[in-house]
Amino acid sequence: MSDTMVEARGVTKAYGALQVLKGLDLEVRKGEVTCLIGPSGSGKSTFLRCINHLEQHDSGVLRVDGELVGYELRNHKLYERSAKQICQQRANIGMVFQRFNLFQHLNVLENITIGQEKVKGTNEAAAQQRARELLARVGLESKEKSYPVQLSGGQQQRVAIARALAMEPKLMLFDEPTSALDPELVGEVLDVMRDLARSGMTMIVVTHEMGFAREVANSVYFLDQGVIEESGEPEQVLGDPRSPRLRSFLSKVL
C-alpha cells in the first residue's frame, strides 16, 4: 500500500487562452498537511478544485489514494468516469470553501446530516449522533437548532468543517477558509484545523495565514502564474526562501 494520498504529475488546466496550471507536480503523503501559498490568480484554488473533479484538468496525471481522479484507464485509454462514480470519489474528499456554502433553509444539525443520509445512506438517528459529536468537536454543540443566518462567519465555517467531516473523508481540502472572516474570527477556525492536523487528517490548505502554515504544515508549495516556484518544509520555504519571487511575496504578507 502506498503512503501517498495525492499525486499530481504534469497537471495542466486552461480556460480558453488563459493557461491557469502549467504542469504541476506535487505529492501529499497520508496524514500530512500541505499548504499552498501564492498571489491571487496563481492557480491554487483551481488546482484544489481539480483534485475533487469540480474542474476537469486538461492533461497530466492526478491521483487520490492511488485512483485516477475523474477518469479510469481501459485498454490503455482514459475514459471519464460516470457521474455516479465521480460522486462516489468526491464523497471521500471533504472540501471547505471561502464562502461557507451552507444550506440557508436548513438548521445546523440538518446541514450536517443531509449528506450522510442522501449520499451515504446513513439512517437519521446515526446521522444525528455523528453530527452532534462533530458539533462538540468544533465547539458548537449549543447551535444545532440555529440557522446559518443566526451564526457568525466563524461559526458558519466551523459548521462547514463539521459537515465535511461527517462524510468521513480520507482527504480534506480547504480553499482559503479564513479569507472571508473578520480578523477576530480567524483564530477559532484555525484552532479547529490545528486539531484536525493533530488527529492525522490528510489536508491540503490554500491559505494566506503564514503563521498557520509554518506551525502546522509538513510541506509548503509556492505557486505563481500556474507553476510551482518553490516547495519544501515550512522553515525553509517561509524562513529562507531561495526564489526572488517568493521573497517578494513574503515581504508583502509577513
Q: How far apart are CA 211 and CA 191, in angstroms?
A: 12
Q: What is the pLDDT of residue 100?
A: 83
User: What pLDDT, on the 0 to 100 scale, is given for residue 76?
Assistant: 85
Residue 59 has what pLDDT? Answer: 92
**What is the distance, to the nearest Å, from the Cα of residue 115 to the centroid of all Cα atoms in its chain?**
17
The Cα 188–Cα 190 span in angstroms is: 6
pLDDT number for residue 1: 64
Beta carbons of 177 and 193 less than 8 angstroms apart: yes
C-alpha cell read off for 167: 462524510
CB 58 within 8 Å of CB 8: no
Does the structure show a pLDDT above 70 at 198? yes
Portion of the chain with pLDDT greater than 90, in percent:
86
The secondary structure of 12-54 as a DSSP string is EEEETTEEEEEEEEEEEETT-EEEEE--TTSSHHHHHHHHTTS
Read off the pTM: 0.94
CA 104, CA 81: separation in Å to the nearest integer? 31
What value, to the nearest 5°, has the Cα angle with vertex 138 and ends 134 and 142?
A: 85
Over residues 100-107, the mean pLDDT reads 94
Helix (H) or strand (E) holding 77, with range, is strand 77-80
Give 226: exposed, middle or buried? Use CB within 10 Å, 0-12, 13-18, 19+.
Answer: buried
- CB-based burial of residue 81 (10 Å sphere; 0-12 exposed, 13-18 middle, 19+ buried)? middle
Q: For residue 2, name the pLDDT band (cuts at 50, 70, 90).
A: confident
In tens, the pLDDT along 55-66 reads: 999 999 999 999
